[in-house]
Amino acid sequence: MLEIKNVTKVYNTGAIQFQALKGVSLKVEKGEFVAIIGPSGSGKSTFMNILGCLDVPTAGEYYFEGIEVSNYTEDQLAGIRNKKIGFIFQQFNLLPKLNAFENVELPLIYRGMNVKERKERVLQVLEQVGLSDWAHHKPSEMSGGQQQRVAIARALAGDPPLILADEPTGNLDSKSGTEVLEILKELNKNGRTILLITHDMKVAGSAQRIISIQDGLIVE
Amino acid sequence: MNFKIAIKLALKGIMGNKMRTFLTMLGIIIGVSAVIILVSVVQGTTESVTENIESMGTNLLSVMIRGRGAETYLTYDATLSLADKYGVAGVAPVASGNVTAKFDTKTMDVTLEGVDENYQTVRNYTVQSGRFIMPLDVEYRQKVILLGTEVVKELFGSQNPIDKNVQLNGLNFKVIGILEEKGSTMGGNNDEKILMPITTAQRFLKSAGIRQIYVQAESPELVNTVYAQVEKYLLNKFKNDEDAYRIFNQTEMLSTINEVTRNMALMLGGIAAISLLVGGIGIMNIMLITVTERTREIGIRKAIGARRRDILIQFLIESAVISGLGGIIGIIVGLAGNKVLNLLAGMNTKTTISIIILSLAFSLVVGMFFGIYPANKASKLKPVDALRYE
């Protein structure tokens, strides 16, 4: 599914060069549930950005489903993100002016799906996360747990093989957090690959495999 | 991303901040309505001036005789010989003077013009009731007159003046007709005058001479030919003294006026267009702020798969919608302003479809143009940076 070979990432902040990743290699098989843990400043976020095709590595290779994407253009990466990856963020990252339905619909609009198919698909995933009755509510009218479930629905709308969850429980109470983790496990059972980024060992426990990252290097 | 949704999203974004959107639009609204009102006023004025001039008759030359030495006028027969020249449609000599008209107890000072039957066609006069002067009236020096509408109003009030006798300087003249109302032109009020047969006028005014002649050409193209012939005739008559006469070319005057007003429309429209440009800068300013404010939104959109083009189009459409809506409101305000000017100030305004389309198109172009820079800036944001923005 994913293969990363000796990836480095260097940030140029004015005079100082900061090496966030110092040669990381990782292979994730299809259908795996992998947790990546590490303290803040460990390079965990940088790693996630590269895995999520939000950023490109300074050096090294990245194969996504066997295709090298490390030198893709910005728009090509946008295509990968749209079709292959579903994002779940700590901050939910829903658009506040759109209601749940429209938020979930957005990736499908960018994909160019027609109205009828879109509507069908959005209602289907909203039902899957148990929010059918909340389709026309704005995020501000929902609880944190509900907002995160809308975000999950949005991630699922495009039916991507990979779900990338960045601290998905970080802003939730423990009950909602458990619910979200249950949904992730369920998704994994249905054959989706899950990458879970967290600093919380308890959360990471849901995964089958835990990868620890420290100072820009993987320490298994 | 499809267009309809893009516009829907843009409208949503715009409606989210109504006050700001309205203030941004205000520049465009003022610009567009100013263009429409100013150009309409100029075009309306041009139209009424042109109409006014054309109401005097078309393809007209107006000849004033000052004379040279003892020869201070032309005879009636001499003026008629001009009618035989090539391209001349009609000649209307005029013997004029001022008289006091009296009917019953009312008196009025009016302009008297002695004319023949050609005057009606050459000067484009119509008779409201009764009849115009006939060749027989001229031949037999009939003591008959036609009245302008102002004269009728002043002397007769609501009575019918036809077949009544009016005293001019104490002599009785019979009213045979009333002229159609013509309004004022540069030559003075056309409704405050009395017409009578030219031969009668020559005797009545005790002057045999003709000092004013209207010559009508058969077509606009022939005006210059006729002008040359009339000038040649007059030069010959007054022994090459160019100061002895003056010829006004109505067609030339019209084209001069048209040129002046066209330049005026361009200038005023241009000045108003500058305010449109300023409105455009306002749009750019707000769009730049909007892009900064919505950095996170842009990041989210990019994370879930928006390409650069999608973001670019989204912001371009937003600025186009602002300027387009502003343009439409501006047109409505402009048309309403025209109406107000028309009703309150009695100004003649004329709005053509082309100026409406032009100003709307210009406002859209301004919106798009000034939207390019902010939209491009938004589309270039890196998803990682944009997502991290608080």
ipTM for the predicted complex comes to 0.92
* A contacts of B1 (beta carbons < 8 Å): 109-110, 112
Cross-chain CB nearest to A97 (options B16, B296, B384): B16
**pLDDT of the residue at B2:** 64
d(CA A141, CA A134): 9
Q: Which residues contact A25 (CB under 8 A, 6 or more apart)?
A: A4, A5, A6, A7, A218
Q: Establish if A79 touches chain B: CB-CB under 8 angstroms.
A: yes
DSSP-based three-state secondary structure for B109: strand
The interaxial angle of helices B3-15 and B308-344, nearest 10 deg, is: 60
**pLDDT of the residue at B262:** 86
Mean pLDDT value of segment A104-116: 90
* Percent over 70 (pLDDT), chain A: 100
For residue A106, give how far its alpha carbon lies from the nearest alpha carbon of chain B (Å): 8
The closest of B20, B43, B35 to B275, measured between CA atoms, is B35
Tokens of A149: 């479930």
Give the CA angle between residues B55, B163, B127 to the nearest 5°: 15
Q: Establish if A81 touches chain B: CB-CB under 8 angstroms.
A: yes
d(CA B94, CA B127): 18
For residue A204, give how far its alpha carbon lies from the nearest alpha carbon of chain B (Å): 23
**pLDDT of the residue at A43:** 84
* A contacts of B298 (beta carbons < 8 Å): none
Hey, are the CB atoms on A55 and B300 less than 8 Å from each other? no
d(CA B91, CA B80): 7
Residues 142-171 of A with CB under 8 A from B: 154, 158
- Taking the alpha carbons at both ends of chain A, their separation in whole angstroms is 20
Cα torsion B46, B48, B54, B56: sign: negative
Q: Where are the domains of chain A?
A: 32-42+74-218
Give residue for tokens 């300027």: B323
Tokens of B6: 């893009």
Cα torsion A64, A68, A70, A76: sign: negative
What mean pLDDT value characterizes chain A?
90
The rounded Cα B280 to chain-centroid distance in angstroms is: 31
d(CA B220, CA A127): 81
Burial class of residue B7, CB neighbours in 10 A (0-12, 13-18, 19+): middle
Hey, are the CB atoms on B5 and A74 less than 8 Å from each other? no
d(CA A172, CA A138): 18
Is the separation of the CB atoms in A179 and A145 below 8 Å?
yes
Is the separation of the CB atoms in B33 and B331 below 8 Å?
yes
Q: Which residues contact B152 (CB under 8 A, 6 or more apart)?
A: B161, B178
What is the number of other CB atoms lying within 10 angstroms of the CB of residue B376? 15
Cross-chain CB nearest to B300 (options A78, A79, A95): A95
Hey, are the CB atoms on A154 and B300 less than 8 Å from each other? no
Tokens of B321: 């919608």
**Nearest chain B alpha carbon to A92:** B300
Produce one character per residue of B113-130: b if its CB has 16 or more CB atoms within 10 Å, e if not.
bbbbbbbbebbbbeeeeb
Cross-chain CB nearest to A81 (options B12, B13, B303): B303
* A contacts of B313 (beta carbons < 8 Å): none
**pLDDT of the residue at B186:** 55
For residue A82, give how far its alpha carbon lies from the nearest alpha carbon of chain B (Å): 4
Say which range, A85-89, A216-220, B302-306, B370-374, has the weakest mean pLDDT: A216-220
CATH number of A32-42+74-218: 3.40.50.300
- Taking the alpha carbons at both ends of chain B, their separation in whole angstroms is 27
Hey, are the CB atoms on B382 and A55 less than 8 Å from each other? yes
pLDDT range class, residue A199, cuts 50, 70, 90 = confident
Q: Which residues contact B213 (CB under 8 A, 6 or more apart)?
A: B62, B63, B65, B74, B79, B82, B91, B92, B93, B94
Give the best residue of B295, B296, B304, B382 to mutate against chain A (max A CB count within 10 A). B304
**pLDDT of the residue at A126:** 93
d(CA B75, CA B64): 13
Give the CA angle between residues A181, A185, A188 to the nearest 5°: 140
Give A4's DSSP letter.
E
Q: Which residues of B touch A (CB under 8 A)?
A: 1-2, 5, 12-13, 16, 296-297, 299-310, 382-384, 387
Cross-chain CB nearest to A106 (options B16, B304, B308): B304
The interaxial angle of helices B308-344 and B295-303, nearest 10 deg, is: 130
Is the separation of the CB atoms in B92 and B118 below 8 Å?
yes
Cross-chain CB nearest to A110 (options B1, B12, B384): B1
**pLDDT of the residue at B206:** 85
Burial class of residue A107, CB neighbours in 10 A (0-12, 13-18, 19+): buried
* A contacts of B297 (beta carbons < 8 Å): 95
Hey, are the CB atoms on B300 and A93 less than 8 Å from each other? yes
DSSP-based three-state secondary structure for A35: strand
**pLDDT of the residue at B188:** 64
* A contacts of B13 (beta carbons < 8 Å): 97
Length of chain A equals 220
For the stretch A7-49, pLDDT in tens is 999 888 778 888 888 889 999 999 999 999 988 888 888 888 8
What is the number of other CB atoms lying within 10 angstroms of the CB of residue B21? 19
Hey, are the CB atoms on A109 and B303 less than 8 Å from each other? no
Does residue A169 surpass a pLDDT of 60?
A: yes
Q: Which residues contact B158 (CB under 8 A, 6 or more apart)?
A: none
Is the separation of the CB atoms in B168 and B155 below 8 Å?
no
Spans in chain B with pLDDT lower than 50: none
Length of chain B equals 390
**pLDDT of the residue at B80:** 84
Cross-chain CB nearest to B384 (options A54, A97, A158): A54
Q: Where are the domains of chain B?
A: 3-52+256-388, 72-237
